[in-house]
Structure 1
């Protein structure tokens, strides 16, 4: 179904105010030729209709989810417990705008705050004051770390029960293996696969997925789980205009052929595709080292993102996220403020044109620097 009308009507000031109120979009007028009326680049109404939800295993989820890596992470994202009120407002805003997929992990949270992301998600769901149906439709996708001491299926099942306790839930929407141990502990890998089977058979999770699996290893676990009567519903991987190399695109092809939904983490390249940073304006913390290596070669891609954003009346972040959606992935940008959530929501309700996608991908492929691949991703 087309998301943009072939002959969109001119927008009045009332329409603009209504659209901004519904989507949270910070609208900027694009540079149209003198005398040309402002045209609708996104539809009026909800950010997406119910029939536009994406099927992931037994679930129907919003075309974009939100990631919660920052919720509890002091080292990389500067989390402080005083932020919890803002995080709850951010969560509430997401739910009110139809977002129902939230990604987390049992390892999210540094030091004594280990598991904090899961705890906060559970708390925010319980305390949400909107309709019960909205709360009931939330799909939590949590990841279980392949720690070296998790050597048996039973230990993996216990990890799942611990996550349920932290969130105070009876069942997890999607239980995911956080990474594969095939490259360094292949014997442990089989035990973890059996752990996924066990938690699914016990009804602790409604569906299972994996994260950081390459195309070959993904096909192997798919076949194994299928032989045990367990469908593999999702594969989460770093996927963006900075992470669209041969392995990632092959993985996308494998997902498409097997009916596995690709979930794209870091769709903004940890913030490099937002246009908010430069070599002279680096983020604080460990990210600065990575940004210093990659940003100098990104000017052509960032300039292209900016050009399309200006023509569209969008932001660079919204263009980058929408590219993921157009590729058939579910992006899960991280959010920790209401402003970030509002901006990300502006990526919904419209689609890049095929020409815009081709231009973006051509420039991205020609970039001399790319995002460093996750060291845990297998072949």
Structure 2
């Protein structure tokens, strides 16, 4: 029964990106129409995997990301409509500690989306602080697949050791793991260079998804050491990282100019060439068009090597997610 079930991830391998639909900073309801246009543009250009999470939105915006994504999906009519894949991540909140809580959470997400979730993912591992909780939540994740409530299951922020353990546990139930999400970019190479997660995912038949592929915007080239900087914590992070990323940004800029591409497109294409599926966000049609420009071409081996070397020489890198396990 499980073998015949396939999740529609389009051509999710090298050469595609997905839309990461997180809580929008500074969001207001007037943006809805603009975001619908972004969604329409993505799908019509073959970008059909959309990733969100049930924790994206608090207070009056609780569940807003899923509600919007569900609405966009329902209102879209056009090319690739049948290939739309809605993925969400269920948070490992401390009050979720039974397998039934995961089933309830997924049903709530499906209600907000207005349709069943295609790909459900555990948002983070509790292995670093509450491994007993993780076991129950993972059992609930597998239950969702066995009960036919989702087409596929995935994980996020799991390292190779825990990934192998979960894979074995799920395999005993005949439940395949479709995807693994990790923070990965030219300023966050740790998951592949040190944890070797790509090798493990290839061995286990799991697609690797790269979140924050533009390092929160640092790799777009829109910001300099002199500012101006984004507000809040993001701005503080930029002040710390930009001085040490000068050589990397210079390398990105040179390759982008040679290729007649933007720095964002080169950074995303680098992720693609590494065999991952980057999920950049897009709040405007212009941003979405820029992201789409990362498709249909590939950096050559010399360009990749130059970027690898520049990334390795960066004085500072993105702080790893505190939930990332080994």
TM-score norm. by structure 2 comes to: 0.94
Question: Is 2:196 the counterpart of 1:250?
Answer: yes
Is the CA contact (8 Å cut-off) linking 1:235 and 1:262 kept in structure 2? yes
Aligned equivalent of 2:72, options 89, 109, 124 = 124
1:139 paired to 2:91: no
For structure 2, the residue ranges without an aligned partner over 5 or more in a row are: none
- Aligned partner of 2:118 in structure 1 is 173
Distance 1:247 1:218 in 2: 14
Residues 57 and 259 (structure 1 numbering): CA distance in 2 closer, same or farther, change over 3 Å?
Answer: farther
Residue 148 of structure 1: how far off its partner (Å)? 0.4
Q: In structure 2, what is the Cα distance between the partners aligned to 1:57 and 1:324?
A: 25
Instruction: Please state if 1:189 is matched with 2:138.
Output: no
Match of 2:224 in 1: 278
1:308 correspondence with 2:250: no
Please state whether the residue corresponding to 2:242 is helix, strand or coil.
Answer: helix
Distance, in Å, in 1 between the alignment partners of 2:34 and 2:325 is 36
What pairs up with 1:50-69 in 2 under 5 angstroms? 58-62=7-11, 63-69=16-22
Mapped to 1, the partners of 2:250 and 2:121 lie a distance apart of: 36
Q: Aligned residue for 1:350?
A: 297
State the alpha-carbon separation in 2 of the partners of residues 240 and 102 from structure 1: 19
After TM superposition, give the deviation of residue 121 of structure 1 in Å. Answer: 0.7
The 1-side partners of 2:275 and 2:6 are apart by 15
The structure 1 residue matched to 2:210, chosen from 248, 264, 279, is 264
Measured against aligned partners, the alpha-carbon deviations of 1:256-294 in whole angstroms (never above 9, x if no partner) come to: 111110000000001010000122221123200111111
Name the structure 2 match of 1:293.
Answer: 240
In structure 2, how many angstroms separate the alpha carbons of the residues matched to 1:340 and 1:213? 29
Unaligned 5+ segments in structure 1 are 1-55
Contact 2:256–2:266 (8 Å) recurs in 1: yes
What is the correspondence of 1:1-379 to structure 2 with a 5 Å cutoff? 58-62=7-11, 63-70=16-23, 73=24, 77-131=25-79, 134-169=80-115, 171-245=116-190, 249-281=195-227, 282-379=229-326
Q: CA RMSD in A?
A: 1.4
Aligned residues: 316
Q: Secondary structure at the match of 1:376?
A: coil
Partner Cα distance (1:323, 1:111) in 2: 37
Shift of 1:296: 0.8
Contact 2:256 2:263 in 1 (8 A): yes
Contact kept in structure 2, 1:57 and 1:233, CA below 8 Å: no
* TM-score, L = length of structure 1: 0.81
Equivalent residue of 1:293, what SS? helix
| Counterparts of 2:74 and 2:281, CA distance in 1 | 21
- 1:16-58 deviation line (CA, Å, top 9, x unaligned): xxxxxxxxxxxxxxxxxxxxxxxxxxxxxxxxxxxxxxxx963
The CA deviation at 1:60 is 3.7
Shift of 1:241: 0.7
Tell me by how many angstroms 1:59 deviates: 2.9
Cα 1:244–1:285 change in 2 (3 A) is same
Larger Rg: 1
Q: CA deviation at 1:143?
A: 0.3
Deviation of residue 247 (structure 1)? 5.8
1:215 and 1:247 in contact (8 A); partners too: no
Contact 2:184–2:190 (Cα < 8 Å) also in 1: no
